[in-house]
Each structure stands twice: as C-alpha cells, then as structure tokens.
Structure 1
Amino acid sequence: MSRKSSSRRRLLAGIAAAGTAALAGCSEVPFTAGEERREAPASLPSDAVGPVEWPASPFPVAVPRSLAAAHESRTRELLDDVPTGPDLPNAGVAAAIGDDRERARRRANAEVADGWPVDDLSAWRRRREDAAEVRGAYRAASGTDDGPDLAARRRAVRDDRGALASALEYRAGSPTAAVLAYEPVESLLAECAGYVEPRVTYPEGPVAEPFRAGEAVARVERARAAADDAAGLRAAYLDGQDGASPRWASLVAAGEALRGSVSRTRATVRERTGREEPFPDEDLSGTVAQELVAVSDLRIESTAEDVERAAGAGEYATAAVEAGAALAEIEAYRAAVREIRDGEHRDGPSESSVRSAADRAGTAVAEAVEGGGPLTTRLVRPAVETVGYVTDRIEEGYGSVRRTQAELTYAALYARAVPAATEFVRDRLA
C-alpha cells in the first residue's frame, strides 16, 4: 500500500473514532473533527455490505512480478537466519523473539489483500520490515553488533534515493501519464526518506537493547525496499517509452494551479454551506445525517491538507492526484449538506437501509470507472477503500450501524463527484 493509501486508512480510522461557485470557468461543478460518540457495536450480518471489485490498476504499465518476488525472497532469507527456538542467555528475550518470528512467518505466508499491484509491493515491504526486525533483534541478543554495517547501509540507501530523486524528470508521453506513472514513485521516495532517517538509533550495547536494535535495522531494511521499488517502477514505465519527454514543468504548473483551486473551492463551499456549522439550529442526534456531516467534514479537511503537503514537498504528481480527490471530497460534502437540507438521511439506520447504501456505493463506483479512464480509476480509490474498510469493520464487530450507513452514503457521493473532478484535473494537465 502506498503512503497515501496508508494515510487514507488512518483517516478512515479517525472517522470511525470521531464518529457552490464555479471554479476557473467551470460552472457545472462547484470546485474553486468530529466529537467522539460512544455507540453500541455494529449489529449487522457479515453480508450486509458486499465487496466492491477493485478496478484495473491505473499504473500505465504492468508492475514487474520480480519486485514482489525480491521482497518475498529477502523476507524468507531474513527469517531463515533466526532459529525457530532461539537459544539465548535471556530466556524472556528468547521467547519474545521466537514469538515474533512465528508472527512474521505467518504474515509472510498469508494471502495479500485485494488491491493493485503497487499495494502488493507495499504489503511485502511491511513483511520484509517485520522479518528484518526479528533478525536484527536476534543478532543483537546473540552478541553481534550490526551498528557499523547499519550505518553504511543507511548511507547507501540515502545516496541511492537522492540520485533517483534528482534524476526523476517525470519523463512520459503526456502530463496525465506522468501523474499516473510517477505518483507511486514519489510516494516510495517519500517513504524511503522517512524510514532512512535515524529516528531510532542502533544502541551502543545491543545485547542489553535487542529490540531497539531490531527496530533500527528494520527501518533501514524498509527504506531499502522502498528505494528499490521506486527504481523498479520508474524503470518499468520507461522501458519502451521512446517518445517520453520530461514533464516536470507541466506538472509544477498544474500542481500549483490545482493547489489554488482546491483552496478557493473549499473556502467557497464552506461559505455557502454555513462554514463550520451547516445545521446550527437543528438537532440531528441519532440520525445518519449527524454522522454524514462528521464524516464529510473530516475528509475535506484531511484531503486539503494532503494537497498542501504534496505541493509543498515538490511532489507534483501526487499533488495533482490529491487535488482531484480533494475536489471530489468537497463536492461530496456540498452534496451531503444539500441532501440533508432537502430532508434526506434524517432517519435512524436499519439493516435494510445499510444494504441500500452499500448498493448505491457499489453502483456509483462502477459507473465512475466504466465511464472514465485510468485517472478516474485512480481518483475513485478512496470510495473503494471506504467500502472495504466498512466491510472489514462489520466482520470484526466494530463501529455502529449509523456510522456504517453514513460512510457508505459518503462513498457514493464521492464516487459520483469523481468524473467531474477528473475532467478538471485533466484540463489543468493538458
């Protein structure tokens, strides 16, 4: 899973816990934290929300199978270096490392969750990180000091990442293709940068702090895996792209323009929907509308922040994607407020109404994907993730029926807004 999808999952978890004018000449679509509520767990059957099939990957070329295979091979190699029953002086440490090895082994043998091939790589990077942590802890507890070697590895990863980032150029057949090809590369470079920093230092006395040693080793392993995936995806895309040209200038201009559009649209919609309190004189307690307002409000704030962060970091392929998502989120919020004002979503939820909301979400996703291209597919991802997250939460017995219906309703509103948001982004990239 990419850094953005991981961020999106944290947003969805936050929603669970927390319970317009034309823009730049487009007159049809208005583009220019909630309080915690304790409720009973969801009492829905596991089939209340059917799965939404993941659409075809928007990455312009096939992701080489060799990338995931390399992670799997490295993961198993790291685990093979740790005995099943470690014989260490400290019996407690030995038992903990043995348990960690078994958990890492089970994760390595588990099926990868549904998603795109880039998500498969993300799953294997996490598994590789887990395996490296177990091995690093075992070696430290055994009296091996990996500190000097780890410092050298960290420098090598940092140098490789810097070389790739400085030579990126965003070569592609078009600016839109550049966005789709290089957004995951940017995400991986950012992931690498975050993990290669020595936020967890290798201890001077590794025998006394084996688990800290393992964590330090794991972070560098994860950084190396991210750097390798970034280089591999870039090479896979450029292979055979004889007509590719640098698109950096186009992406910078589009990214900055979209950044401004998101800011202006958000401000305009906030103004026209009542700023922070769209229903100040109404009691929506116990209704789906109450949850829907909380969900939509949190999401537009989060996505607007994502745009600012990406543009500020010079990740302009990411900024374009996040801007498209933000514009769709803002429109979904506006639509939610309008529907509530028109009398919708004001009842309590039921199993039947949840099933209907799930059907609408699935239909909205399918219609968006069917009528659009790869950029539309990339932008509709948050809706697909939302349905999947809701499904998982029902199976685990968490959440509430009301929140479930609100999130599914919002997923449908978001998916319906994606095609127009896609066209707006594509026009700015042209």
Structure 2
Amino acid sequence: MTIVTEAPADAQQESVRRVHEVARRAQLAAADLALATRADKDGALAAMAQALVDRTDEIVAANAADLERGRAEGMNDGLQDRLRLTPERIAQIADAVREVIALPDPTGEVLRGSTLPNGLQIRQVRVPMGVVGMIYESRPNVTADAAALGVKSGNAMILRGGSAAAQSNAVIVAALRSALAEHGLPADSVQLLDGGREDVTALITARGLVDLVIPRGGAGLIQTVVLGATVPVIETGIGNVHVYVDSAADLVMAREIVINSKLRRTSVCNAAETLLVHRDVAATFLPTILGDFATRGVRLHLDERAGVVAQDTGVGFDPATEQDWRTEYLDAEIAVGVVDSADAAIDHINAFGSRHTEVIVTENRAAARRFVARVDAAVVAVNASSAFTDGGQFGMGAEIGISTQKLHARGPMALPELTSTKWVLEGDGQIRS
C-alpha cells in the first residue's frame, strides 16, 4: 500500500474532519473501556469470537470479492495467500480471539511500589494507551487480532486496513461491533476507516486525539508512517530474515530448519529470505538444500560460490545482486550465499537485515553465544525455525505486530505492549516540607 500525503485541500480537510470525529468517538469508548472489568471484557471477546463464526459465510463471500478484484489487478500468489479467508481460517481467527480471554489482563498490574516513611503509598500501575490507530495491509486476520487485543487491554482501536481487503474487513468489523454492543461495551471500541489515502494522513497527524499509531506491512507503508506521523509510532519492521548454517551445524537439523523457515508460509514476515552457509559445509549442504528448493519451485538468487555448486547440480538460478540481499520476497524466492566464518555471517546480517528475526544452526555453543550477542535483531533463534517468531507461539495469544525498534517494545507485541503506566499516590493528608 503506497501512501501519498498530498491531496486536494478540500479532500484532505474533509478527511481530517471525518477521522477526527472517529477519534473523538474512540476517546469516549476508551473512557468506558477503562472502567470495564475483566469479566466484562472477556465476555465481549467471547461474543466477538462467536460473531465471526456465525457470520462465516458472509465473511467468505466478501473475501471472495476481494480475491477476485486482486486477481484482476495482478496480485501475486503470495499476497493472495495472505488475503485469503476460508471457513477453517475464520475458525482459527475466532480461536485466536478466544485465546486472548485466557491471558492475564495487564491493566491495573502493579509494576513497583513502596510506602514512604511518612506513610504515603506510591505505586506504578499499567493503564491503557487510550486510542490506538492500526494501519496494515492485506491480512484481514489482523483486523480481528487487533480488535481483540485492544478490547482486552482497554484501548479503543481505529483500524485502517489495505484496500485489497476492504470488503473482508468491513464485514469482520461489523460483526465485532455488533458483538460489543450486544455485550454492553461501546461499539466504537473498534472502528474501521474506509476512506482513501487522505485518511491515513489524517490519522497519523491526529495528535491529541490518537495516542499511538502502529503500522504493519511493507517497507513503504512503515517508512511513510514513521516519517509523516506527529502521533507517537511503534515501528513494526519488514522481515528480511536470515538463516545461517554454521560449520558445526547438524546438517540434517539444518535442512529441516531452513525448509520450515522458508516454506512453511512464504508470505509471512517471519519467513526466511536469505540463507547463509559456512564454506566448510557448503559443498555438502548446498546440493541437498538447493535441490529441495528447486523441486518446490523456489526461485534462487545465488552468490558466486553458491552458483558454482548449483552449476554442478544442474539447478537453475539467478546471480544474486545487492538488492537481493535487501529484499523481503514474501514469496517462493530466496537469496543464498557462502560465507567464510560466523563473523562474516553476522556482518552480512547486520548490514542487510531488518532487525526482525535471525537464525543460527550450530552445535558450537560458543559460536551460538557470539551470534546471539552480536546480531542486532528483535528475535535471535539458535537451532530453531524463524517461524516461531509469533505472538501466539510465544504464549501471548494474538499479536498486534512485531516491533523492530528498541524503545517501549521489541519483538512480538501483545497486551502489555499496548499499555502505558500511571503513578498513583495515596495518602492521608501528607504535605511536603
């Protein structure tokens, strides 16, 4: 989704008026949510999950229209997979909402506190952010995930999905709003912006009405929001993920990890996009893994040394360019290179990676510790697939995104990351001398 910030003055003014009205309704809803008990919120989440199941046929029909429009506009297979909803996927989305019910409510949690010698009690507690704007692209499951996490954490959510999922998102949000209202919580706890690009500009500059914006999608979307927002932003980065196979790797294990990291789902941000192999095992490991990729229809971008191996095995490939090392393919493509050492792999990752998830496969614990310490990423995995970088896999329930920045939140974000803190002082007349 490309966002432009210039628009005719009258169109932008109308968008600002409309988005500000949405934000004011969200502020009122957030004030009510702040008073809701955990039982209130959990009951609403159960109703929201059931509403998705009850309206499965309607959601699938809307999604089919989105898919048909996407095909007509030349959407690739990977993006269509991210967009596609089936009854099974809707059931999984509903289950993800239900999983949030079982998670602890972060609001009101006391992080620290003390009683001063004069009897004044001081404590720092978690409180909702308030109004959170979420800007994302073609995965309609994010709509339900964001709504569920928002309700549980006491935040009103303003959602702006990509145009590719417009009809799917409209039906999903209608179902969620209906369930909220029927359960006694404000329907405006979840609102959907369905206007043009001007709405994004209005949302990310609604300082004082919107407390936080979270962009989730491609590099263009994220950078546009980060650079154009006056509202605070949590940056969720693209997933240019690497798997490094060390000289001390168990190559049977490495093969399984590489295949799972790349091919479990090629269209998700935790999918591997680059494979780096130590030169000492390249001649043994590369023929096998390149053959695996070739039989599965994966397009290969190989550096010179990996290309020599491929020529010997007859596997087709394209020479890797510098742009290939920087690319998040989100499809059945991967860049492959041979490195001279673990440090060379680390340097490559820190130069080209997106600070999302990085993997080392090795039986050398010293090499693993060095990799973990030196690689700059939100998640570093040792002898495990990159596919585990996911809020659900981390026990967080549904996730709002994966932060690649270092302030406030890093890695998969769920309920605690949607809160701020408030200091509460309780006394019985103390004054300061």
What TM-score results when the alignment is normalised by the length of structure 2?
0.23
Structure with more relative contact order (C-alpha pairs < 8 Å, separation 6 or more): 1
Structure that is richer in helix per residue: 1
Structure that is richer in strand per residue: 2
What TM-score results when the alignment is normalised by the length of structure 1?
0.23
